[in-house]
């Protein structure tokens, strides 16, 4: 195994060892990729407060997420096509997560099926659901997740309509890949990936092929998928799914304070502040910038987690210090999987936990549960505007010219100017 000191080391190996279309699938955002980039760069604006002469012995990163004990507050996020990054990728990632003591979340759009992962994993995992127009399919896949003893349902709310990712269109993304001349030339340099893929039968979307009506092969799958994401998903349908599931429910894709309040009132066990890794609404604020606003909006009514942009243990620390009770990583573990399979996922988790542990100690904390905003120097742009200030600014805004920009944050609340330029 090469010397791995950070997640970027795994990313470089992932790029060398995985076919271009699948590497690009993981390492891309929608449209200009502004939000995709800012998800990571905005973490750099938060600075840590160093503390000295503090007893740093007996440290612990262990805690709980939605009542589940975890060795550190990090879960593996649902990622589609994981089994194309490495043969049997979902199974390998689930095994690594179980051994490490963190949750694994299986995507609806996985290559390995729910049943496959359950048969090869030593611990219960979570299942992520995309809501489809076909209610019968949705009901059956929920029941399949229950039969597989999945311990939580992660319901994704921000993919009713698919955001355009230019790289996927240009690469002709498919599972398995279509054997065009450029693809075959690329695969010729990825012999390790090819040999492993030849040795497995898991090359299609295992949760869909053979389970959705009329979907029996790759060609019918693509047309079915393009038509099935439900643009009519609303709180009424979310309630139906909650009642059908009957267990722990986590709502993923919340990026607005009002939506967060609604989710808290709805009775979710946790909400995940996320912009789908910058793959949906390009131009939206980064998840880390919205995190403190949403934490302040819901208080202790619901656990708030965060994903989108985490590439290090320090990123995890910063999210926890801003009020998150847990985090999810997607690309960080996918880099490891594509680089070295199950061992690479384990290495990604080890890198993140070690950096979290050391940075926590140097900030003067012995337990992740004690992290808070006192551990950070926080720029004004991360801070939520109080509801009283918001209402006052709205009243003032009615009398201001549309072109007026108030440094106090009128752009963030003024309906005449719009929320898209939030301070």
Q: How far apart are CA 179 and CA 186, in angstroms?
A: 10
User: Residue 93: how many CB atoms within 10 A of its CB?
Assistant: 34
* β-bridge pairing 47-48 and 249-254: unpaired
CA distance 168 to 194: 20
Nearest CA-CA partner of 40 in 288, 270, 264: 288
Residue 120 falls in the annotated catalytic set: no
Nearest partner of 130 among 90, 162, 102, judged by Cα: 162
- Answer yes or no: are the C-beta atoms of 412 and 422 closer than 8 Å: yes
Separation between Cα atoms, residue 345 and residue 17, nearest integer Å: 15
331-362 helix and 89-100 helix, angle to the nearest 10 degrees: 20
Distances (CA, A) of 32 to 21, 40, 95: 18, 15, 35
Residues 269 and 263: their CA atoms lie apart, in Å, by 9
Q: Give the pair of three-digit tokens for residue 210.
A: 């053979």
Contact 108, 117 (CB under 8 A): no
Residue 103 CA to residue 346 CA, distance in Å, equals: 13
Triad 24, 29, 33: Cα angle to 5°: 120
Q: Which of 14, 166, 276, 374 is catalytic?
A: 276
Q: Are 318 and 376 in contact (CB under 8 A)?
A: yes
Paired with 156 in beta bridges are: 252
How far is the C-alpha of 308 from the C-alpha of 327, rounded, in Å? 9
Helices (H), 161-201: 166-171, 181-188, 191-198
Rounded CA-CA distance 376/421 in Å is: 25
Residues forming the active site = 276
């Amino acid at each position: 195994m090469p010397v791995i000191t950070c997640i970027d080391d795994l990313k470089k190996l992932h790029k060398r060892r995985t076919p271009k279309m699948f590497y690009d699938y993981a390492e891309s955002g929608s449209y200009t990729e502004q939000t995709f980039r800012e998800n990571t760069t905005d973490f750099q604006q938060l600075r840590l407060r160093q503390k000295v002469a503090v007893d740093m012995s007996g440290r612990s990163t262990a805690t709980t997420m939605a009542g589940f004990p975890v060795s550190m507050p990090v879960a593996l996020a649902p990622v589609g096509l994981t089994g194309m990054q490495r043969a049997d990728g979902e199974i390998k990632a689930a095994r690594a997560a179980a051994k490490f003591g963190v949750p694994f979340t299986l995507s609806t759009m996985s290559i390995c099926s729910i049943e496959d992962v359950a048969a090869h994993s030593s611990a219960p995992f979570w299942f992520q659901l995309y809501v489809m127009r076909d209610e019968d399919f949705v009901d059956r896949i929920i029941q399949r997740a229950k039969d597989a003893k999945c311990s939580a349902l992660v319901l994704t709310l921000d993919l009713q309509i698919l955001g355009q990712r230019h790289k996927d269109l240009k690469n002709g993304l498919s599972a398995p890949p279509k054997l065009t001349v450029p693809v075959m030339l690329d695969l010729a340099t990825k012999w390790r990936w090819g040999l492993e893929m030849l040795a497995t039968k898991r090359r299609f979307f295992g949760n869909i092929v053979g389970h959705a009506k009329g979907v029996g092969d790759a060609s019918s799958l693509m047309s079915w998928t393009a038509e099935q994401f439900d643009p009519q998903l609303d709180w009424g349908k979310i309630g139906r799914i909650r009642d059908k599931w009957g267990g722990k429910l986590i709502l993923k894709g919340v990026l607005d304070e009002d939506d967060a309040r609604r989710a808290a009132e709805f009775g979710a066990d946790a909400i995940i502040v996320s912009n789908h890794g910058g793959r949906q609404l390009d131009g939206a604020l980064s998840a880390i910038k919205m995190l403190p606003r949403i934490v302040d909006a819901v208080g202790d009514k619901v656990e708030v987690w965060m994903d989108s942009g985490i590439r290090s243990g320090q990123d995890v620390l910063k999210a926890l210090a801003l009020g998150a009770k847990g985090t999810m990583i997607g690309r960080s573990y996918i880099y490891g999987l594509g680089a070295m399979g199950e061992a690479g996922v384990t290495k990604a988790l080890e890198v993140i936990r070690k950096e979290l542990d050391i940075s926590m100690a140097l900030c003067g904390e012995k337990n992740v549960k004690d992290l808070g905003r006192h551990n950070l120097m926080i720029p004004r742009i991360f801070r939520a505007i109080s509801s009283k200030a918001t209402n006052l600014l709205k009243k003032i805004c009615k009398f201001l010219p549309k072109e007026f920009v108030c440094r106090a944050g009128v752009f963030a609340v003024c309906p005449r100017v719009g929320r898209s330029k939030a301070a």
